[in-house]
Chains A and B, each alone.
Chain A
């Protein structure tokens, strides 16, 4: 087990480094954006670029990049947030993404599990068909369509919720006002998670429910609910829990689409902005972050199997 974890970690670091190097080189190969916006001193900007080493060979810059990275420095804003530290801006944006996602997951997990279990227990009854059809619908229809629908109904037609997210200057992250302003976004994000979790839970649990040991449990006198809770659920949880875990890691990544539709100033919006304005420092920081999150969540899923179910031997062929 320990050996497998170390092997996976080394592989992850290795992959991470290669991806980062590739992205760095590709970004540095792009021409720097022209300095022509109003009110900016061209000479000053060029001089600053020289001082930041933008004119050095790419390999030298790459070395510098790592040197600065270990000092917690990812450069300054070039085309947006002029002169501000990328890391600082990034960490003021991150909480918005995290909070929205956190709310949606906290809403989605119990509901998803509940619907999934219900559908599995009522398999091939009409309740199951209703749930399955809904899941099908919610998973197939793109998330932005749900977002538009939620926005149209909750924000325009009924006017119950505001269009934009409350500012941090006026309220705290974990306050009622913030939750209320975020609710449409939370709902549109949650729909998809609920549907995914329901489908997964239903599939796993209904497979477990056909097992022989469950029949034995019923034969030895356990009630149906006892058998389901004590035997079926525990086994069904083996693949479900890693999925929930990965959802929790995924909340860091945010959602590009939802943040764009509901104008949430999170890191997804930051990424889109950095692409449109060609700010390479921000772009690099976001790439760094997204890659890391992706790798981490894959790793956690794989490793968690071993922790959750001692019968699973990690790394065994």
Chain B
């Protein structure tokens, strides 16, 4: 009987319904403001926290830097240069602020002559400024020089095949840029004697004992006088050189003394090139390293972006995975309770107590060869990382699951899944999101620590990481601190910003905790 009536009403057509009060005037006040949900409320509170907003902006900038620079930079991790090593930071725009790739160094007379001779042939010098001249107790003169770390490289010898040699000459002719410079007279010996012999193009003093054999002639004031000491020949096209010649190379007084620009050897030609121009010829751009280079000649600015991108991607994937696992695990624990909770709690307890460093190492040893070091590191972070979130979720479930509104929902026939995800979980979403965000700096720190210690090696396959960069720089802390300072500053900035950002998020989601530091 009852069912019959129900059935009768089950499929009522739409037309049979009519609004009762459709004709009447409703005197309720319309809502003047937009509804504010809990997230919007939290965002409003977050925006009031100036330091957290600033931190969020810094994080965003660092993130964009790590994403954009690898796409636009001419350098990448595999770009290494054998000569432009340990260059100092230089920016063309801000060079006047002292960001010019130069550094003060103390030199002897020979060193001063050597450095100031570099680039003399093209009207330049590696020495930008002589800051101070002083003498020690023995009467030896020393110079305090302001030296450009880029120009210091000067000239190098390159061995070219015939095709390369001709292509380089063609390039010279077409662009009217002098790349190949004459060989010094003693190129055969000084190539062996000193690695940078290509820069010793001037006449050295015969008085070898007192001047280390490398100082130039001097005028009466002690200033170096550079007398060119090129290898000469009566044949202007010796070693098949038919291209631009430097100033002063006009056949000499007798018209038969031409400078020699290259020497034939077994494989082709050995030429003396201005490295800056040669670099431009090979790579298509002039060297400009905003944050300098390291001992492998890698651009630190680009490497850092690659390293940061790796860290960010790793950390974000870890936090997302941990978020999902943590919520599911914690929800099951907290919602079902009892024996399920007891067993799951023991499992997470055991995992929690395994030292992370051991987990990372074991994963590295077992999986790195199969899935690569990065994926095995991801597994290591995921294995224990979700426990914190699961614990939070579990606590929240215990708190909410016996409240009346849950009982009401259950009475209305809500399923377990609906109760978990619609009714209980949203209550704790704020704290969980905060915890998830704070996983990111933790992962970045741990990853950099592990790669710094050499426990994981991410340097293979064109990758690099902040820890690897730190380890690279450690040997040069005293001489070239910028190599280690750049990644250090970056990670410090990132960690500080994330901490501030996390505090702001926590305050926003849970105003009662404001000011508490835990």
Contact = CB atoms under 8 A, between A and B. Distances in A.
B343 to A, nearest CB: 13
A156 interface: yes
A145 interface: yes
A279 to B, nearest CB: 12
A257 B449 contact: yes
A101 interface: no
Given A137-B496, A141-B492, A27 B362 contact: yes
Contacts of A26: 362, 366
A287 interface: yes
Interface in A249-277: 256-257, 260-261, 271-272, 275-276
A52 interface: no
Nearest to A289: B355
B389 interface: no
Interface string B429-445: 00000000000000001
Contact of B366 (A29, A137, A139, A276): A29
Contacts of A62: none
A152 B477 contact: yes
Contacts of A256: 357, 449, 453
B518 A203 contact: yes
Contact of A144 (B366, B454, B470): B470
A256 to B, nearest CB: 6
Interface string B343-381: 000000110011101100110011000000000000000
A290 interface: yes
A294 B355 contact: yes
A23 interface: yes
Given A23-B362, A137-B496, A295 B453 contact: no
A19 interface: yes
Contacts of A1: none
B448 interface: yes
A266 to B, nearest CB: 13
A291 B516 CA distance: 31
Given A142-B445, A152-B478, A272-B455, A136 B353 contact: no
Contacts of A287: 355, 358
Contact of B358 (A137, A291, A295): A291
Interface in A134-158: 136-137, 139-142, 144-145, 148-149, 151-152, 156
B452 A145 contact: no
B500 interface: yes
Contacts of A38: none
B132 interface: no
Interface in A109-159: 136-137, 139-142, 144-145, 148-149, 151-152, 156
B361 A283 contact: yes
Contacts of B481: 152
B496 A145 contact: no
B365 A30 contact: yes
A200 B516 CA distance: 10
Contacts of A290: 355, 357-358
A18 interface: yes
A152 B365 CA distance: 34
Contacts of A137: 496
Contacts of A22: 354
A15 interface: yes
A30 B516 CA distance: 46
Interface in A281-314: 283, 286-287, 290-291, 294-295, 298
Interface string B245-279: 00000000000000000000000000000000000
Contacts of B350: 15, 18-19
Nearest to A206: B515
Classify chain B: how many residues form its interface, as a range: 35 or more
Nearest to A257: B449
Contacts of A136: 496, 499-500
A32 to B, nearest CB: 12
Interface string B459-484: 00000000000100010011001001
B357 to A, nearest CB: 7
Contacts of B492: 140-142, 145
Classify chain A: how many residues form its interface, as a range: 35 or more
Contacts of B484: 148
A19 B348 CA distance: 12
Contact of A203 (B355, B495, B517): B517
Say whether chain B's binding surface is mostly helix, strand, loop, or mixed.
Answer: helix
Contact of B474 (A27, A140, A261): A261
B365 to A, nearest CB: 6
Contacts of B477: 148, 151-152, 156
Contacts of B518: 200, 203
A119 to B, nearest CB: 11
B499 A140 contact: yes
Given A141-B495, A142-B492, A145-B488, A291 B445 contact: no
Contact of A142 (B366, B474, B495): B495
B62 interface: no
Nearest to B454: A276
Contacts of A276: 454-455
Contacts of B349: 11, 15
A22 B359 CA distance: 11
A11 B449 CA distance: 31
Contacts of A15: 349-350, 353
B495 A271 contact: no
Contact of A23 (B358, B445, B495, B516): B358
Interface in B486-518: 488, 491-492, 495-496, 498-500, 516-518
A257 B479 CA distance: 22
Interface string B324-358: 00000000000000000000000001100111011
Contacts of A140: 492, 495-496, 498-499
Output the residue of B349, B353, B470 with the most chain A CB within 10 A.
Answer: B353
A139 B491 CA distance: 13
B311 to A, nearest CB: 12
Contact of A291 (B354, B496, B517): B354
A245 to B, nearest CB: 18
Contacts of B365: 30, 278
Nearest to A295: B353
A199 B515 CA distance: 11
Contacts of A203: 516-518
B140 to A, nearest CB: 23
B449 A144 contact: yes
Nearest to B518: A203
A278 B364 CA distance: 12
A294 B492 CA distance: 27
15 contacts: A19-B353, A27-B362, A139-B499, A141-B495, A145-B488, A148-B484, A148-B488, A151-B477, A156-B477, A156-B478, A256-B357, A256-B449, A271-B357, A287-B355, A291-B358
Given A148-B477, A156-B477, 12 more contacts: A15-B349, A19-B354, A141-B492, A141-B496, A148-B488, A152-B477, A156-B478, A256-B449, A256-B453, A276-B454, A286-B358, A290-B358
Interface of A: 11, 15-16, 18-19, 22-23, 26-27, 29-30, 136-137, 139-142, 144-145, 148-149, 151-152, 156, 199-200, 202-203, 256-257, 260-261, 271-272, 275-276, 278, 283, 286-287, 290-291, 294-295, 298
Closest 6 CB pairs of A and B: A140-B496, A156-B478, A290-B355, A141-B492, A140-B499, A145-B488
